Amino acid sequence: MKDYYKILGVNKSASEDEIKKAFRKLAHEHHPDKTGGEDAKFKEINEAYQVLSDKNKRAHFDRFGTDPSSQGGFPGGGNPFGGFGGFDPSSVNVDFGDIGDIFETFFGGGGGSATRGRRRTERGGSDLETALQLTLEEVFFGVKKEVFIKTNIGCDRCNGSGAEGDSGLENCSACGGSGEIREDKRTFFGTFSQARVCDKCHGFGKIPKKACGKCSGMGIISGERKIVVEVAPGVQEGQVIQIKGAGESGPRNIGTGDLYIGIRIKPNLLFKRLGDDLSVSLEVKILDIILEKTISLKGIDGKKIEFSVPTNFNLRDPIKISGEGMTKFGKKNRGDLLVNLVVKSPKKISRKARETLNGLDNSDID
Protein backbone atom coordinates (compact mmCIF):
# COMPACT_ATOMS: atom_id res chain seq x y z
CA MET A 1 0.00 0.00 0.00
CA LYS A 2 1.39 3.38 -0.96
CA ASP A 3 1.95 6.06 1.64
CA TYR A 4 1.38 9.36 -0.11
CA TYR A 5 2.67 11.30 2.88
CA LYS A 6 5.93 9.41 2.74
CA ILE A 7 6.21 9.97 -1.00
CA LEU A 8 5.94 13.73 -0.52
CA GLY A 9 8.06 13.62 2.63
CA VAL A 10 5.49 15.34 4.83
CA ASN A 11 3.76 14.18 7.97
CA LYS A 12 0.10 13.35 8.34
CA SER A 13 -0.75 16.68 9.88
CA ALA A 14 0.87 18.67 7.05
CA SER A 15 -1.06 21.76 5.96
CA GLU A 16 -2.24 22.28 2.38
CA ASP A 17 0.57 24.75 1.98
CA GLU A 18 3.23 22.35 3.19
CA ILE A 19 1.94 19.70 0.82
CA LYS A 20 2.00 22.12 -2.07
CA LYS A 21 5.54 23.20 -1.26
CA ALA A 22 6.82 19.65 -0.89
CA PHE A 23 5.21 18.72 -4.18
CA ARG A 24 6.72 21.64 -6.08
CA LYS A 25 10.16 20.88 -4.77
CA LEU A 26 9.96 17.19 -5.64
CA ALA A 27 8.30 17.81 -8.99
CA HIS A 28 11.24 20.00 -9.89
CA GLU A 29 13.77 17.45 -8.77
CA HIS A 30 12.25 14.48 -10.52
CA HIS A 31 10.85 16.05 -13.64
CA PRO A 32 11.54 13.52 -16.41
CA ASP A 33 12.97 16.20 -18.66
CA LYS A 34 15.64 17.03 -16.15
CA THR A 35 18.92 15.21 -15.83
CA GLY A 36 18.47 12.78 -13.01
CA GLY A 37 14.70 13.06 -13.42
CA GLU A 38 12.70 9.89 -13.35
CA ASP A 39 9.38 9.28 -14.99
CA ALA A 40 8.09 6.70 -12.53
CA LYS A 41 9.06 8.74 -9.52
CA PHE A 42 7.56 11.86 -11.04
CA LYS A 43 4.26 10.10 -11.68
CA GLU A 44 4.23 8.82 -8.14
CA ILE A 45 4.79 12.32 -6.76
CA ASN A 46 2.05 13.67 -8.97
CA GLU A 47 -0.30 10.93 -7.88
CA ALA A 48 0.42 11.62 -4.22
CA TYR A 49 -0.19 15.31 -4.73
CA GLN A 50 -3.44 14.82 -6.58
CA VAL A 51 -4.77 12.93 -3.59
CA LEU A 52 -3.33 14.95 -0.72
CA SER A 53 -4.19 18.31 -2.26
CA ASP A 54 -7.85 17.35 -2.52
CA LYS A 55 -9.70 17.50 0.79
CA ASN A 56 -12.09 14.66 0.00
CA LYS A 57 -9.51 12.38 -1.49
CA ARG A 58 -7.14 13.05 1.36
CA ALA A 59 -9.80 12.26 3.95
CA HIS A 60 -10.61 9.08 2.10
CA PHE A 61 -6.96 8.14 1.93
CA ASP A 62 -6.49 8.86 5.61
CA ARG A 63 -9.27 6.40 6.42
CA PHE A 64 -8.76 3.70 3.86
CA GLY A 65 -5.35 4.16 2.29
CA THR A 66 -4.85 3.09 -1.28
CA ASP A 67 -6.96 0.00 -1.61
CA PRO A 68 -6.19 -1.25 -5.14
CA SER A 69 -9.86 -1.95 -5.76
CA SER A 70 -10.65 1.70 -5.23
CA GLN A 71 -8.09 3.05 -7.67
CA GLY A 72 -10.87 4.54 -9.70
CA GLY A 73 -11.28 7.05 -6.93
CA PHE A 74 -7.63 7.97 -7.11
CA PRO A 75 -6.96 8.63 -10.72
CA GLY A 76 -3.41 9.79 -10.18
CA GLY A 77 -1.32 10.53 -13.20
CA GLY A 78 -3.73 8.86 -15.56
CA ASN A 79 -3.87 11.11 -18.54
CA PRO A 80 -5.78 10.09 -21.64
CA PHE A 81 -4.40 12.97 -23.64
CA GLY A 82 -0.76 12.26 -23.19
CA GLY A 83 2.04 14.08 -21.46
CA PHE A 84 1.88 17.77 -20.83
CA GLY A 85 -0.06 18.56 -23.91
CA GLY A 86 3.09 18.32 -25.94
CA PHE A 87 4.58 21.21 -24.04
CA ASP A 88 8.00 20.88 -22.60
CA PRO A 89 8.38 23.00 -19.49
CA SER A 90 12.13 22.53 -19.38
CA SER A 91 12.61 24.17 -22.76
CA VAL A 92 11.29 27.41 -21.47
CA ASN A 93 12.57 30.04 -19.20
CA VAL A 94 10.04 30.10 -16.46
CA ASP A 95 11.46 32.46 -13.93
CA PHE A 96 8.82 35.03 -14.71
CA GLY A 97 5.94 34.46 -12.38
CA ASP A 98 5.59 31.53 -10.08
CA ILE A 99 6.85 28.23 -11.36
CA GLY A 100 4.49 26.37 -9.09
CA ASP A 101 1.52 27.82 -10.85
CA ILE A 102 2.95 26.80 -14.17
CA PHE A 103 3.24 23.23 -13.00
CA GLU A 104 -0.27 23.43 -11.72
CA THR A 105 -1.47 24.57 -15.09
CA PHE A 106 0.12 21.56 -16.69
CA PHE A 107 -1.22 19.08 -14.21
CA GLY A 108 -4.57 20.73 -14.14
CA GLY A 109 -4.85 20.72 -17.88
CA GLY A 110 -3.27 17.37 -18.55
CA GLY A 111 -5.28 15.18 -16.29
CA GLY A 112 -7.70 17.91 -15.41
CA SER A 113 -11.05 16.28 -15.67
CA ALA A 114 -10.08 13.30 -13.62
CA THR A 115 -7.63 14.68 -11.11
CA ARG A 116 -9.58 17.73 -10.12
CA GLY A 117 -13.00 16.29 -10.34
CA ARG A 118 -13.71 18.77 -13.08
CA ARG A 119 -15.61 17.70 -16.13
CA ARG A 120 -13.80 17.90 -19.41
CA THR A 121 -16.52 20.07 -20.77
CA GLU A 122 -15.85 22.84 -18.31
CA ARG A 123 -12.60 23.90 -19.77
CA GLY A 124 -10.60 23.24 -22.87
CA GLY A 125 -6.89 22.82 -23.39
CA SER A 126 -4.26 24.10 -21.01
CA ASP A 127 -2.81 27.55 -20.89
CA LEU A 128 0.78 27.53 -22.02
CA GLU A 129 3.76 29.69 -21.24
CA THR A 130 6.81 30.51 -23.24
CA ALA A 131 9.57 33.07 -23.25
CA LEU A 132 10.47 35.51 -25.99
CA GLN A 133 14.02 36.81 -26.18
CA LEU A 134 14.51 40.30 -27.53
CA THR A 135 17.54 42.46 -28.13
CA LEU A 136 17.61 45.92 -26.60
CA GLU A 137 17.34 47.40 -30.10
CA GLU A 138 14.18 45.36 -30.72
CA VAL A 139 12.80 46.64 -27.44
CA PHE A 140 13.64 50.19 -28.48
CA PHE A 141 11.93 50.07 -31.87
CA GLY A 142 9.25 47.49 -31.08
CA VAL A 143 9.21 44.28 -33.06
CA LYS A 144 7.07 41.70 -34.77
CA LYS A 145 8.15 38.14 -33.93
CA GLU A 146 7.04 34.66 -34.80
CA VAL A 147 6.63 32.27 -31.90
CA PHE A 148 6.29 28.54 -32.45
CA ILE A 149 4.58 26.38 -29.84
CA LYS A 150 4.44 22.61 -29.94
CA THR A 151 1.10 21.61 -28.48
CA ASN A 152 -2.14 19.83 -29.17
CA ILE A 153 -4.00 21.52 -31.97
CA GLY A 154 -7.40 20.85 -33.47
CA CYS A 155 -7.45 17.93 -35.89
CA ASP A 156 -7.65 19.24 -39.44
CA ARG A 157 -9.33 16.11 -40.77
CA CYS A 158 -12.46 16.26 -38.61
CA ASN A 159 -12.22 19.97 -37.71
CA GLY A 160 -11.90 18.92 -34.10
CA SER A 161 -15.20 17.03 -33.90
CA GLY A 162 -13.53 13.64 -33.57
CA ALA A 163 -16.06 12.11 -35.94
CA GLU A 164 -15.14 10.72 -39.32
CA GLY A 165 -16.99 12.46 -42.14
CA ASP A 166 -20.64 13.14 -41.25
CA SER A 167 -20.92 10.15 -38.95
CA GLY A 168 -21.85 12.30 -35.96
CA LEU A 169 -21.92 11.44 -32.27
CA GLU A 170 -23.82 8.96 -30.18
CA ASN A 171 -24.35 8.41 -26.46
CA CYS A 172 -21.51 6.59 -24.74
CA SER A 173 -22.56 3.07 -23.91
CA ALA A 174 -20.22 2.75 -20.94
CA CYS A 175 -21.67 5.63 -18.92
CA GLY A 176 -25.04 6.04 -20.62
CA GLY A 177 -24.19 9.60 -21.62
CA SER A 178 -23.50 11.00 -18.15
CA GLY A 179 -19.73 11.11 -18.65
CA GLU A 180 -19.06 9.48 -15.29
CA ILE A 181 -19.25 6.03 -13.88
CA ARG A 182 -20.56 5.41 -10.38
CA GLU A 183 -19.21 2.52 -8.48
CA ASP A 184 -20.50 1.17 -5.21
CA LYS A 185 -17.80 -0.11 -2.99
CA ARG A 186 -18.54 -2.31 -0.04
CA THR A 187 -16.19 -2.03 2.86
CA PHE A 188 -16.19 -3.11 6.46
CA PHE A 189 -17.64 0.29 7.39
CA GLY A 190 -20.43 0.32 4.89
CA THR A 191 -21.07 0.94 1.24
CA PHE A 192 -19.61 3.94 -0.52
CA SER A 193 -20.50 5.32 -3.86
CA GLN A 194 -17.76 6.82 -5.95
CA ALA A 195 -17.89 8.56 -9.28
CA ARG A 196 -15.08 8.58 -11.76
CA VAL A 197 -14.73 10.05 -15.20
CA CYS A 198 -15.79 7.59 -17.86
CA ASP A 199 -12.68 6.32 -19.58
CA LYS A 200 -14.49 5.42 -22.76
CA CYS A 201 -15.78 8.92 -23.56
CA HIS A 202 -13.38 10.85 -21.27
CA GLY A 203 -16.28 12.57 -19.58
CA PHE A 204 -17.98 13.83 -22.72
CA GLY A 205 -20.92 11.45 -22.48
CA LYS A 206 -20.88 11.15 -26.24
CA ILE A 207 -18.53 9.40 -28.61
CA PRO A 208 -18.18 9.67 -32.37
CA LYS A 209 -20.16 7.00 -34.23
CA LYS A 210 -17.09 6.51 -36.32
CA ALA A 211 -13.84 7.86 -34.94
CA CYS A 212 -11.79 10.16 -37.15
CA GLY A 213 -8.95 8.22 -38.72
CA LYS A 214 -6.39 10.91 -37.96
CA CYS A 215 -7.05 11.77 -34.32
CA SER A 216 -8.77 8.52 -33.23
CA GLY A 217 -11.83 10.49 -32.22
CA MET A 218 -10.14 12.93 -29.83
CA GLY A 219 -10.40 15.89 -32.17
CA ILE A 220 -6.83 16.95 -31.39
CA ILE A 221 -3.45 16.03 -32.78
CA SER A 222 -0.02 17.04 -31.61
CA GLY A 223 1.29 19.81 -33.78
CA GLU A 224 2.77 23.25 -33.81
CA ARG A 225 1.16 26.62 -33.57
CA LYS A 226 2.73 29.67 -35.16
CA ILE A 227 1.87 32.94 -33.52
CA VAL A 228 2.91 36.37 -34.72
CA VAL A 229 3.44 38.66 -31.76
CA GLU A 230 3.71 42.39 -32.06
CA VAL A 231 5.74 43.74 -29.20
CA ALA A 232 5.31 47.44 -28.46
CA PRO A 233 8.42 49.60 -28.00
CA GLY A 234 9.75 49.96 -24.49
CA VAL A 235 8.51 46.64 -23.16
CA GLN A 236 10.02 45.63 -19.83
CA GLU A 237 11.88 42.50 -18.84
CA GLY A 238 9.41 40.02 -17.36
CA GLN A 239 6.32 41.61 -18.90
CA VAL A 240 3.85 38.94 -19.97
CA ILE A 241 1.76 39.09 -23.10
CA GLN A 242 -1.41 37.04 -23.03
CA ILE A 243 -2.68 35.70 -26.34
CA LYS A 244 -6.15 34.29 -26.02
CA GLY A 245 -6.84 31.00 -27.72
CA ALA A 246 -3.20 30.34 -28.63
CA GLY A 247 -2.63 27.65 -25.99
CA GLU A 248 -3.42 23.97 -26.12
CA SER A 249 -6.56 22.88 -27.95
CA GLY A 250 -8.91 20.79 -25.87
CA PRO A 251 -10.41 17.62 -27.30
CA ARG A 252 -13.45 17.90 -29.54
CA ASN A 253 -13.58 21.68 -29.74
CA ILE A 254 -14.36 22.20 -26.06
CA GLY A 255 -12.03 25.15 -25.96
CA THR A 256 -8.46 26.29 -26.31
CA GLY A 257 -6.20 27.60 -23.58
CA ASP A 258 -4.31 30.87 -23.72
CA LEU A 259 -0.65 31.48 -24.38
CA TYR A 260 1.42 33.62 -22.03
CA ILE A 261 4.59 35.03 -23.51
CA GLY A 262 7.15 36.30 -21.03
CA ILE A 263 9.57 38.93 -22.31
CA ARG A 264 13.28 38.37 -21.75
CA ILE A 265 15.75 41.00 -22.83
CA LYS A 266 19.25 39.99 -23.88
CA PRO A 267 22.06 42.02 -22.40
CA ASN A 268 23.45 44.64 -24.75
CA LEU A 269 27.22 45.04 -25.11
CA LEU A 270 27.10 48.83 -25.04
CA PHE A 271 23.92 50.05 -23.47
CA LYS A 272 22.54 49.25 -20.08
CA ARG A 273 18.91 49.88 -19.38
CA LEU A 274 18.00 51.78 -16.23
CA GLY A 275 14.23 52.04 -16.35
CA ASP A 276 13.51 54.44 -19.20
CA ASP A 277 17.10 55.64 -19.27
CA LEU A 278 20.10 54.08 -20.93
CA SER A 279 23.64 54.23 -19.70
CA VAL A 280 26.78 53.79 -21.74
CA SER A 281 30.52 53.98 -21.08
CA LEU A 282 32.65 56.05 -23.42
CA GLU A 283 36.42 56.51 -23.59
CA VAL A 284 37.44 60.13 -24.04
CA LYS A 285 40.80 61.78 -24.49
CA ILE A 286 42.07 64.24 -21.91
CA LEU A 287 42.47 67.06 -24.43
CA ASP A 288 38.91 66.62 -25.72
CA ILE A 289 37.74 67.24 -22.19
CA ILE A 290 40.07 70.14 -21.43
CA LEU A 291 39.31 71.89 -24.70
CA GLU A 292 35.57 71.13 -24.57
CA LYS A 293 35.76 69.47 -27.97
CA THR A 294 32.77 67.86 -29.58
CA ILE A 295 32.57 64.20 -28.65
CA SER A 296 30.30 61.91 -30.62
CA LEU A 297 28.79 58.48 -30.16
CA LYS A 298 26.05 56.37 -31.70
CA GLY A 299 22.74 56.19 -29.86
CA ILE A 300 20.61 53.04 -29.51
CA ASP A 301 18.66 54.18 -32.59
CA GLY A 302 21.90 54.26 -34.62
CA LYS A 303 21.90 58.05 -34.88
CA LYS A 304 24.92 60.18 -34.07
CA ILE A 305 24.83 62.08 -30.79
CA GLU A 306 27.24 64.95 -30.11
CA PHE A 307 28.12 66.61 -26.85
CA SER A 308 31.01 68.27 -25.09
CA VAL A 309 32.13 68.13 -21.49
CA PRO A 310 31.54 71.51 -19.84
CA THR A 311 34.28 73.00 -17.69
CA ASN A 312 34.02 72.42 -13.98
CA PHE A 313 32.25 69.12 -14.59
CA ASN A 314 32.71 66.29 -12.12
CA LEU A 315 34.00 63.45 -14.30
CA ARG A 316 32.59 60.90 -11.90
CA ASP A 317 29.08 62.01 -12.86
CA PRO A 318 27.56 60.79 -16.11
CA ILE A 319 26.83 63.32 -18.83
CA LYS A 320 23.06 63.39 -19.20
CA ILE A 321 21.74 63.67 -22.74
CA SER A 322 18.00 64.29 -22.62
CA GLY A 323 15.65 62.26 -24.79
CA GLU A 324 18.26 59.83 -26.14
CA GLY A 325 17.37 56.95 -23.82
CA MET A 326 14.86 54.10 -24.14
CA THR A 327 11.40 54.53 -25.60
CA LYS A 328 8.87 54.72 -22.81
CA PHE A 329 6.32 51.92 -22.93
CA GLY A 330 2.99 53.20 -24.22
CA LYS A 331 4.37 56.72 -24.75
CA LYS A 332 6.01 58.63 -27.55
CA ASN A 333 8.88 60.22 -25.65
CA ARG A 334 12.13 58.70 -24.50
CA GLY A 335 14.21 58.56 -21.36
CA ASP A 336 17.70 60.01 -21.11
CA LEU A 337 21.11 58.73 -22.08
CA LEU A 338 23.70 58.73 -19.33
CA VAL A 339 27.23 58.73 -20.67
CA ASN A 340 29.86 57.57 -18.21
CA LEU A 341 33.17 59.08 -19.23
CA VAL A 342 36.27 56.94 -19.06
CA VAL A 343 39.23 59.29 -19.34
CA LYS A 344 42.06 57.75 -21.30
CA SER A 345 45.65 58.35 -20.37
CA PRO A 346 47.60 59.40 -23.49
CA LYS A 347 49.50 56.60 -25.28
CA LYS A 348 52.29 58.98 -26.17
CA ILE A 349 53.07 62.68 -25.78
CA SER A 350 55.12 64.38 -28.46
CA ARG A 351 58.14 66.52 -27.59
CA LYS A 352 56.20 69.57 -28.77
CA ALA A 353 53.23 68.76 -26.58
CA ARG A 354 55.45 68.10 -23.62
CA GLU A 355 57.21 71.46 -24.07
CA THR A 356 53.90 73.25 -24.39
CA LEU A 357 52.48 71.51 -21.34
CA ASN A 358 55.65 72.19 -19.39
CA GLY A 359 55.10 75.87 -20.09
CA LEU A 360 51.76 75.70 -18.29
CA ASP A 361 51.00 75.31 -14.64
CA ASN A 362 47.90 74.75 -12.59
CA SER A 363 46.99 78.43 -12.64
CA ASP A 364 46.48 78.11 -16.40
CA ILE A 365 44.09 75.21 -16.14
CA ASP A 366 42.30 75.12 -12.85
CA distances from 131 to 44, 120, 172, 260, 326 (A): 29, 28, 41, 8, 22
How many Cβ atoms sit within 10 Å of the Cβ of residue 93?
12
| Complex with Zn ion: residue 174 or 305, whichever CB lies closer | 174
CB neighbour list of residue 266: distance below 8 Å, 6 or more residues apart: 133, 134, 135, 136
What are the CB-based long-range contacts (under 8 Å, 24+) for 297-300?
297/339, 299/324, 299/337, 300/136, 300/137, 300/140, 300/271, 300/324, 300/325, 300/326, 300/337
Q: Which of 25, 200, 210, 285 binds Zn ion (CB under 5 A)?
A: 200
CB of 76 to Zn ion, least distance (A): 20
| Between 213 and 323, CB nearer to Zn ion | 213
22 binds Zn ion (CB under 5 A): no
Of the two residues 28 and 200, which places its CB atom closer to Zn ion in the complex? 200
Near Zn ion in 206-225, by CB under 5 A: 212, 214-215
| In the complex, minimum distance from the CB of residue 172 to Zn ion, in angstroms, rounded to a whole number | 3
Q: Which helix (H) or strand (E) holds 16?
A: helix 16-30
Contact pick of 201, 246, 263, 341 for Zn ion (by CB under 5 A): 201
The size of the interface with Zn ion (CB under 5 A), counted in residues, is 12
**Phi, psi values for residue 99, rounded to 5°:** -65, -30
**How far apart are CB 259 and Zn ion at their closest, in Å?**
22
Find the shortest distance in angstroms from Cβ 164 to Zn ion.
8
Which among 62, 56, 64, 59 has a CA at the least distance from the CA of 116? 56
22, 175, 263, 300: which one binds Zn ion (CB under 5 A)? 175
Closest CA to 158 of 227, 210, 225: 210
Assess 28 for contact with Zn ion (CB under 5 A).
Answer: no
Question: Please, which residue, 214 or 328, has the CB nearer to Zn ion?
Answer: 214
Helix then strand then coil, % of the chain, to nearest 5: 25, 30, 45
Q: What number of other Cβ atoms are within 10 A of residue 299's Cβ?
A: 18
Among 128, 155, 261, 263, binds Zn ion (CB under 5 A): 155
> What's the min distance (Å) between Cβ of 178 and Zn ion?
7
The window from 51-59, 87-95, 157-165, 227-235 that contacts Zn ion (CB under 5 A) reads 157-165
In one-letter notation, the amino acid at residue 111 is G
Phi, psi of 125 (to 5 degrees): -70, 170
Only one of the segments 37-45, 143-151, 192-200, 334-342 lies at the binding site for Zn ion (rule: CB under 5 A); that segment is 192-200
Asked whether position 158 contacts Zn ion by CB under 5 A, the answer is yes
Residue 114 touching Zn ion (CB under 5 A): no
Which of 30/225 has CB closer to Zn ion? 225
Q: Which residues bind Zn ion (CB under 5 A)?
A: 155, 157-158, 172, 174-175, 198, 200-201, 212, 214-215
